[in-house]
Structure 1
Amino acid sequence: MCGICGFVSFAGWSPAMLQAMNEVIFRRGPDGEGSLHSGTVGLAMRRLAIIDVAGGAQPVYNEDRSVAVVFNGEIYNYRSLREGLRARGHEFRSNSDTEVLVHLYEERGADLVRELEGMFAFALWDSRKEALLLARDRLGIKPLFIAQLAGGVLFGSEIKSLLTTGLVSRELDRQALDQFLTYTFIPAPRTIYRAITKIPPGTTVTIGPRGEASARCYWEVPDPQAVQRTPAEWAERVEAGLLRAVESHLVSDVPVGAFLSGGVDSGLMVAMMAAATERPVETFTVGFAEAGSSFMDERVYARMIAQRYRLNHHEINVEPRVTDIIQDIVAAFDEPFADDSVIPSYYVSQAAARFVKVALTGLGGDELFGGYRRHLGVRVGDAYRGVPRWLRERVVDPIIRRLPEPRTSSDLVDHL
């Protein structure tokens, strides 16, 4: 994880302000920092070194230094992109994935994002056009916030970088608050602050020499109905795609491990990791010592997977003390969220950091493949609507309303 921040200014914003924006995101990149302040533009970043540890310092420039970029993320197809760019005459000064961005931009402009496979947020300055290009990956894995002010435009990986300038109003966005209470998170482009927005996933924003900003969506979820395949063909393509994704995520110059929950998603992921690497995969599972904890203890399932695939498995047994860590969590997120899984994630990340610098997770598997009860409810709901209305209202609904609330954290009654 790295972090970027900066601005385009028409009010003489200083290098000291840029440095302050960068310092508040130190935890995102303890391995190094870099910055560019020239005329109206300021770019800065904090680096967590993963690829080309020794030579990947940022900002990164093209051959004549007319294009500069700060980058957060990883480009998984950077090696093939670099080979093509070199064959077409581009000169590289490092082995980092970041450097492909400036050379791709020379050829394709803002359309360079269409060539990228990975997770990313970056800010690229074109000094000849006096234009700043901000871009976010297709699914919005990497965050990027922006505030358009009278004196210029601020951007950053975290909201705190923008707030620390003292230029941004902290007035709450009441519509965003309503969305949070409805969805338990705040969808893009809103944030909890009226003056700050999220750049949506799959979007680029170009800021011109007079401060004019234009946003463009460069990717949308493909329509699965556009291609007709049998279930067996889809299964084969999904398996091949997952394996390719896992293998691409293992490209790193530092140790890579995995969080293993014992579920299907992380279990499948580490099985593919084990098949793609020669050394035993370092895996981590958290368990809670406190009796009656509301968090599910998944260690028994994780042990079965670890034994099956000969993993170098670590179990972290903790007694959760939310009061000890809540300030760190709140400071990291910058705006309201309602996912208590951040607590076990905090503990397992803390423990894993002693062994590896990068850890893969199975997050997103349930969303992609309908693994939650609410997804089952969509299918059951279609059948339930076929039940006569009088039977639903007079028999089924009254029974459900009389069910007692569980003493555990189970949400089964709520789903019913």
Structure 2
Amino acid sequence: MCGIAGLFNCNLPADRLRLDQAVAKLAHRGPDDRGLFLDGRFGMGHTRLAIIDLAGGHQPLFSKDRGLALIANGEIYNFVELRAELEALGHGFQTHSDSEVILHAYLAFGDSFLERIHGMFAFALYDAAEGRLILARDRLGMKPLFLAWLPDGIAFASEIKALLPLLDQPPAIDPQGLAQYFQNQFSTGATTVFSGVERVLPGEAVIIEAGRVARRFRYWSPLAIRTEPLDFDEAAARFDTLMERVMVEHMRSDVPVGLFLSGGVDSSLLLALLSRYSDQPIRTFSVGFPGTSLTNELPLAKDLARRFGSRHREIRPDPKDIFHSLPLTVWAADDLMRDNANLPTSLLARAAGEELKVVFSGEGGDEVFAGYGRYRTSPLERLFKGLLAPGSGGFRTRGSFRGHWPKTLFGPTLLAASQHARRPVLESWREAPHGWSDLQRMQYVDLRHALPDNLLVKADRMLMAWGVEGRLPFLDHRIVEFGLGLPDRLKVAGRQGKLFLKRWGERLVPPEQLYARKRGFHVPLSEWLDEPFLKRLAQILPEHPALTPWLKPDGIRMLIADCREERQGSAMLWAILQFAIWHQLFIAGSGERPAPLTDPLEFL
């Protein structure tokens, strides 16, 4: 797990100083090593978190004739099998790094080489002879990659903060990206909150020649998946073989691994599987909030840890520490988003990082096997929602700011942009194959947007901020293809979601654990917005210079008053507070890392 950055100019030589500054912004992603490579108008850099081939995996990696240069972020899970195939074709390897197979696969298979690589990755492959750069991102978007348009070329990086030193001037805020953030929790697709900065999409490759995009294409898409008419026994037999292969590949590591254990279905099954395939006790970490109104999951996790013999650690954060973690989590997320679970995830990652470099987590299980309650909304409710907001079958019809609040809070530019905040959902709903069920369409919309641009931002950035790699077996593309292709009746029955995975897991985990009501990963946000905090917020937030171009001061005052009187509107207030912190970090500032614990209001 690493960080990558680079630039390809049309005319000017690549600037080593700027490139070095960009790479320095990614030190948290790769604290173990650093490397640069420049070739005239092209330059790229790499920071390394050593997981595979600890001694010999320095990057950039080069082909034997040095005609190819590679920097990669992530893990190639099938590198053992792919390396054996390439060696049989006559390729000789210089390291034991999993990333080196990318170089040889390109030489062996040409433009189809991406289809042979399994894993989570974002990489830059420079072909000096052809004068071209290949940027590629993994199929599900587990690893991030951004592009920025320069007056004389193109820059790329794992995180937006690393692009800032490569730009000639600070980027402006994109109203559409900001509107998506406020209404949907995150900007999505290629759109970011910065004008002139875009995401490389999951499963996308971008070919750059002479500082310009020559071609871009999707080498994988869930849209190709078709439903198979399986019964449970047939599906379970296939899944036995598939899950064993995926776990064997994902557990490859030259350092110890751990697990974030919530007590839910996905992490419970992962603990059972990790324990089955490991000859050492698994290190597990759980977080809870005793003394709040939220269900405390620590006892559930502790029981599971005892059952499977893991070495378990509980994190019990003080509410003050949660609040004071906010500036760091906003900095870590980088790509403006507001999943409240960033806070406890960051605390878990900090604890895990004290002793591990690799941690497994259960992200993706709900999207792939239809676990969310929103997938089981009644047809009548969806019909009604679809009449109010047509175009997506009654799915994801409402933004976070609704009722009178958009007109009360949003300035003219933001209000106009917010009218189009649902467009990505509508487009994705329409592009799903005609033969898909509505359940599959809902899963696809989430796989296309909420997963890569929200959930996986949390899973990657909160961990990498502390030098920890997250591994997500349920998002192996083969698992995704299997789950999305299951018949609806195997995934959802009545009020029970994720049915196939639960039935399959009964051999591994006690049924009462699997069929318990879904609890989610929440923080007691409204309980922490007490009167002293809201009073301070009312003095700082309404006229803050980050907000006045976009939000109405009187509307912010009204929202704070509403939170005081009815304890409602906390999610909207939280969104505004995070944007102000983000602006202070990346617009008013230069993206410097704040202290681990910083009072958000003093920071503003």
Structure-1-length-normalised TM-score:
0.88
Whole-Å separation in 1 of the counterparts to 2:218 and 2:194: 23
TM-superposed deviation, 1:180 = 1.9
Contact 1:203 1:219 (C-alpha < 8 Å) held by counterparts: yes
Whose helix fraction is larger, Structure 1's or Structure 2's? Answer: 2
* Amino acid paired to 1:297: N
Residue 221 of structure 2: aligned partner: 220
CA shift digits 1:60-119 (9 cap, x unpaired): 011101001000000011011111111211111110011111111112233211001100
Partner of 2:470: none
Aligned AA for 2:344? P
CA contact (8 A) 1:147 1:168 kept: no
| Correspondence for 2:127 | 126
The residue matched to 1:57 in structure 2 has which SS? coil
For 2:169 and 2:108, locate their aligned partners in 1 and report how far apart those are by CA, in whole Å: 36
Corresponding position: 1:307 with 2:283: no
Aligned residues: 389
* CA contact 1:171–1:193 (8 Å) conserved in 2: yes
1:75 and 1:119 in contact (8 A); partners too: yes
Aligned-partner residue type, residue 24 of structure 2: E
Q: Equivalent residues in 2 for 1:8-407 (5 A)?
A: 8-9=8-9, 10-167=11-168, 169-209=170-210, 211-221=212-222, 223-289=224-290, 291-292=291-292, 296-320=295-319, 321-377=321-377, 380-381=378-379, 385=383
The secondary structure found in structure 2 opposite 1:140 is: coil
Q: Partners of 1:191 and 1:159 in 2: how far apart?
A: 10
CA distance in 2, matches of 1:180, 1:326: 17
- One-letter code aligned to 2:341: S
For the 8 Å contact 2:137–2:145, the answer to whether it is kept is yes
Greater shift, 101-110 or 118-127, is seen at 101-110
Distance in 2 (CA, whole Å) between partners of 1:120 and 1:38 is 24
Q: Distance in 2 between matches of 1:65 and 1:381?
A: 60
The Cα shift of 1:365 comes to 1.1
User: Greater shift after overlay, 363-372 or 193-202?
Assistant: 363-372
Q: Which residue does the alignment assign to 2:573? A: none
1:344–1:383 distance in 2 versus 1, CA, 3 Å: closer
SS in 2 for 1:11: coil
Cα deviation, residue 357, structure 1: 1.1
Which blocks of at least 5 consecutive residues in structure 1 are unaligned? 390-407
Per-residue CA deviations over 1:152-174 (Å, capped at 9, x if unaligned) read 11000000111122425421111
2:39 and 2:48 map into 1 onto residues whose CA distance is 21
Give 3-state SS (helix, strand or coil) of 2:168's partner: coil
Residue deviations 1:170-217, cap 9 Å, x none? 211111122222321111211101110000000000001362431111
Worse-matched range after superposition: 110-119 or 128-137? 110-119
Counterpart amino acid of residue 374 in structure 1: R
Q: Matched residues in 2 for 1:264 and 1:168: separation?
A: 47
- Superposition deviation, residue 374 in structure 1: 1.2
Distance 1:210 1:278 in 2: 50
Residues 296-305 or 28-37, more deviating: 296-305
Report whether the alignment pairs 1:4 with 2:27.
Answer: no
Q: Is the 8 A contact 1:4 1:44 kept in 2?
A: yes
Distance in 1, Cα, partners of 2:127 & 2:297: 50
Label 1:152 to 1:409 Cα distance change in 2 as closer, same or farther (>3 A). Answer: closer
- Aligned residue in 1 for 2:521: none
Report the RMSD for the aligned CA atoms in angstroms: 2.2
Conserved 8 A contact 1:121-1:135: yes
Give the Cα–Cα distance (whole angstroms) in 1 for the partners of residues 379 and 245 of structure 2: 35
CA-CA distance at 1:271 after TM superposition: 0.5
- Structure 1 residue 249 displacement after superposition: 1.3
- Alignment CA distance shift 1:264-1:136 (3 Å): same
Q: Give the direction of change, closer, same or farther, for the CA distance of 1:268–1:207 in structure 2 (3 Å limit).
A: same
Q: TM-score, normalised by structure 2?
A: 0.62
Preserved CA contact (<8 Å) 2:19 2:44:
yes
Secondary structure of residue in 2 paired with 1:337: coil
